[in-house]
C-alpha cells in the first residue's frame, strides 16, 4: 500500500511574529504592540531587522503572544520568560541597572 500525505501534513508551518512594548519607568508588564501571521509576520521581522530591533525567535512563544489582543499585557503565565528575554536584550545592548556593581559590557568587537 502506498502512503500519501494529506494536505494538512504537507502544509508549511504558519510564520508568526509579535512585537512587545516595555518601559522600565512605567513599572508595568510588557504589552503586545503588534502581531501578525505569514506575510505580515515576515514584514514585521524585516522591519525589525532594518531598524536594528533585537529579535528573539521562538515559535511557541510567538503562538501564545498571537492569541493576545493588541494593547494587552503579557499574562502572568509567560511573564518570567518574557522578562528574561527583555533582560538579556538589555545586556546585549550594554544596559545595566544603576545598582549593579562590577558588570562590564560585553565586547562585541571581533
pLDDT digits (tens, 9 = 90+) for 50-95: 999 999 999 999 999 999 999 999 999 999 999 999 988 888 888 8
Which has more pLDDT, 37 or 98?
37
The pLDDT score that the predictor gives to residue 48 is: 95
Q: CATH classification of 14-92 is 3.40.109.10, yes or no? A: no
Using DSSP bridges, classify how beta strands 31-37 and 16-21 pair: parallel, antiparallel or unpaired. antiparallel
Q: How confident is the model at residue 99 (pLDDT cuts 50, 70, 90)?
A: confident
Task: Answer yes or no: is pLDDT of 107 > 90.
Answer: no
pTM above 0.75, yes or no: no
Which pairs from 19-27 meet CB under 8 Å and 24+ separation? Answer: 19/44, 19/48, 20/65, 20/74, 20/82, 20/86, 22/86
R_g over Cα of the chain: 18
The pLDDT score that the predictor gives to residue 26 is: 82
Which has more pLDDT, 35 or 25?
35
Which has more pLDDT, 97 or 76?
76
For residue 16, what is the enclosing H or E element? strand 16-21
Cell of 79: 511573564
Cell of 64: 501564545
The string of DSSP codes covering 17-63 is EEEEE--GGGTS--EEEEEEEHHHHHHHHHHHHHTT------HHHHH
Cell of 62: 510567538
Amino acid at each position: 500500500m502506498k502512503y500519501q500525505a494529506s494536505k494538512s501534513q504537507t502544509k508549511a508551518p504558519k510564520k508568526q511574529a509579535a512585537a512587545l512594548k516595555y518601559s522600565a519607568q512605567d513599572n508595568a508588564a510588557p504589552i503586545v504592540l503588534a502581531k501578525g501571521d505569514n506575510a505580515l509576520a515576515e514584514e514585521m521581522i524585516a522591519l525589525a531587522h532594518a531598524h536594528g530591533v533585537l529579535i528573539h525567535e521562538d515559535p511557541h512563544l510567538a503562538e501564545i503572544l498571537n492569541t493576545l489582543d493588541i494593547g494587552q499585557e503579557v499574562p502572568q503565565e509567560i511573564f518570567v520568560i518574557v522578562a528574561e528575554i527583555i533582560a538579556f536584550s538589555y545586556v546585549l545592548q550594554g544596559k545595566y541597572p544603576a545598582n549593579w556593581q562590577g558588570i562590564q559590557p560585553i565586547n562585541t568587537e571581533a
